[in-house]
Amino acid sequence: MNYWHTKVRVKRGQDGALKERGRGQSGKMEWNCSYERFSLELYTRFDSHSLEFSRELRAALRAGALALAFLLVCAGGRAQTKNSNSSADAAAANSFYSQGLDALQRQDLSGARAAFEKTVKLIPRSPEAHNSLGWVLLAQDETEAATAEFRAAVSLKPDFAQAHMNLSRALLRKGDAQGAVREASEAVRLVPEDSETHHILGQALSYSGDSGGAREELERAIAIEASRPELHDDLGSVLVQLSKMEEATAEFSEALKVQPEFAQAHLHLGVLRLQQKDIEGAESELRVAARLEPDNPLTHYYLGQTLESKGAADAALLEFQYATKLDPYNADAQKQLGILLQRSGNGEDAVMAFRQVVKIRPASADAHNDLGLALLQIGDAGNSIQEFQAALKLKPNDAGYEGNLGAAYLQKTDFDAAVAHFQSALKFAPQNAAFHYDLGLALKMKDRLPEAIAEFKKAEELDPKLADAHYTLGVTLWQQGEFAAAAEELRAAVQAKPDYAEAYYTLGSVLKQKGDLLPAADALREAIRLQPDFAGAHTNLGAVLRQLGDTDGAAAESRTGMELLKQKSSEQAAMFATNSGRKLFNAGDLDGAISQFRAAIQSLPAYAPAHYQLGLALQRKGNKEESAKEFQKAFELDPHLKAPSQ
């Protein structure tokens, strides 16, 4: 059976389209867009960017200085009324606390933590000491421990506004929105003229879903202290949630007016431009954000989205690769990376990306479906079946998943199972032309030709532009000797898809067998124009020209066909050796991998993937000079293949 007779139309979901979902991660503001969910980070993390960290650090140092003065007063009182041991403990506590503040000034969190822990141990009833220790713990992402310290601080001193603010931050990090709102509201009650209390309350309200309340609090914060760029940036994020896009743009722009090098505002404005389909504006803002914060994975993720939208797939692929390198647990970035790798023909790396998505989202049916499709692309039908079954277990009765499972069984040549799953898919989507086509294909493989023809015709009826249905029906009719009907279907196929080289080739072959030599030659020439390396088209055209009496033309076409077949054989050998070498490389057998990559290059010296893989193996072995030469050769042959460091 010729390979083009088994074209299966795999889907990504019930409607045949890629399904996108937002992450809904903690501490994010999420925007619903027509084709993607964008998320803008709220500043609920102390290390989210340098400006916010510096501001909070300054606030902590000011609070710490006041706390130190308080501790010194206590120490003086104790020196007059307590024994020498108590006086010594108080003096030591002051010393440790001062050391902690000095460490914070140097941004030495470990040193500050050690000093504050010693302070708390010496004076466990000091709310200031607990608050400062909690601040450091939260900065180190130890949220539970930080929460406990803040709770101790507000228990010892209920009117301690700074501790209520920090406790709100910690609860927000834990996903306790209501608790965060409660603590932030108390901080606002205690110090209503402090912009940061309104800021934190605005963040908590936004996370709880109260965008209107968040807007009011952020506007109050700006009224108190309009020179803080992060307040304008967060207000812009809330306005996006409220679909106030022009007002959001104004706030992001105001943030950049106050602080032109504010990376996060450039990121947010870039994402907003992308949502508004202003691709050039989005790229400009996101490139500035990437320059200012090159290690922010979200910036590279959205820059990748932008570049993909403008058709720069290669550049987008690089951005997604960098984003996933910086943050391997960004499922959306891994998914987009997998999709682009699939489109570029790099099926094995696509599988790795989709496996990571499944690892991050094991309960996502779409994640298993995408991995199944990637496995199907590289010919691993057995494992793809497991993934499609997992998807159906999570989301039963999904027609798209049923259809993809049928395609996997078809690839595995289990035609009975394929028929059963295509029929199951049609129960849920009876008007889906692609499923009728796929069922017809499976029936054809079982030699149930009348039923197969009926399914192909049903597919054509539902979607007259479904070129594969016309093509495969034409092939089937040709095999039954119905040349005129076959030619009619093949002409319909190329009308539906004018660049369908295989259909032109098959049409030429049918017309040749039918005796219509001039139209046959025209069809074969069109196949060659569309696909110059189509060896079979050259060979068949040579035979037609020979029958027409054009011996020179026939000889030239036959010679070209033979040369292409020889080259094709070399390409297949090179591809086989490269794939074998890649498996050895992944298994850790560097010498075996290098041997296979060299064999591939011997079969076809201009096979770029073999040079690239050889470069990787030599690099892993420590042969930097030779690996650099292989990377350079691969790049010369295929500019898409750049050395890993590039």
Are 643 and 615 contacting, i.e. CB atoms less than 8 angstroms apart? yes
Answer with the one of 456, 475, 503 that is the final residue of a domain: 456
The string of DSSP letters for 463-505 reads: -TT-HHHHHHHHHHHHHTT-HHHHHHHHHHHHHH-TT-HHHHH
Residues 169 and 57 in one domain: yes
Residues 105 and 195 in one domain: yes
Which pLDDT score is estimated for 60? 52
Residues 475 and 496 in one domain: yes
Residues 476 and 424 in one domain: no
Which pLDDT score is estimated for 197? 96
Residues 141 and 12 in one domain: no
pLDDT averaged per 10 residues in sequence order, the chain, 646 residues:
36 35 30 32 31 48 46 39 59 89 90 94 93 94 96 96 96 95 97 96 95 97 96 95 95 96 96 95 97 96 96 93 96 96 89 97 97 93 96 97 96 94 97 97 94 97 96 94 96 96 94 96 96 92 95 95 88 86 75 87 91 90 90 88 68
Residues 103 and 121 in one domain: yes
One-letter identity of residue 272: L
Q: Which residues lie across from 30 on neighbouring strands?
A: 39
> In terms of residue numbers, what domain contains 629?
576-637
Which pLDDT score is estimated for 56? 53
Q: Please state the domain count of the chain.
A: 4
Non-local CB neighbours of 120 within 8 Å, separated by 6+ positions: 126, 129, 130, 133, 149
Residues 543 and 595 in one domain: no
Report if residue 271 sits inside a domain. no
Report if residue 607 sits inside a domain. yes
Report if residue 386 sits inside a domain. yes
Here the CATH number for the domain that contains residue 439 is: 1.25.40.10
Q: Tokens representing 229?
A: 């760029």
Instruction: Report pTM.
Output: 0.74
Are 618 and 629 contacting, i.e. CB atoms less than 8 angstroms apart? no
Angle at 283 between CA 278 and CA 287, to 5 degrees: 155
Tracing tokens 């009117």 back to the chain, one arrives at 159
- CA dist 90 and 215 (Å) reads 45
Three-state DSSP at 30 gives strand
Are 11 and 438 contacting, i.e. CB atoms less than 8 angstroms apart? no
Angle at 247 between CA 59 and CA 175, to 5 degrees: 50
Are 385 and 371 contacting, i.e. CB atoms less than 8 angstroms apart? no
Residues 85 and 187 in one domain: yes
Answer with the one of 408, 438, 456 that is the final residue of a domain: 456
Residues 385 and 439 in one domain: yes
Report if residue 337 sits inside a domain. no
Answer with the one of 418, 438, 456 that is the final residue of a domain: 456
Report if residue 37 sits inside a domain. yes
Angstrom distances, CA of residue 125 to CA of 66, 84, 156, 323: 16, 19, 7, 45
Report if residue 303 sits inside a domain. no
Residues 68 and 199 in one domain: yes
Which pLDDT score is estimated for 579? 84
- CA dist 131 and 123 (Å) reads 13
Residues 170 and 100 in one domain: yes
Helix ranges (DSSP H) in 82-160: 84-105, 109-122, 127-139, 143-156
Report if residue 66 sits inside a domain. yes
Three-state DSSP at 159 gives coil
Which pLDDT score is estimated for 39? 35
Which pLDDT score is estimated for 11? 47
Residues 133 and 95 in one domain: yes
- CA dist 179 and 141 (Å) reads 19
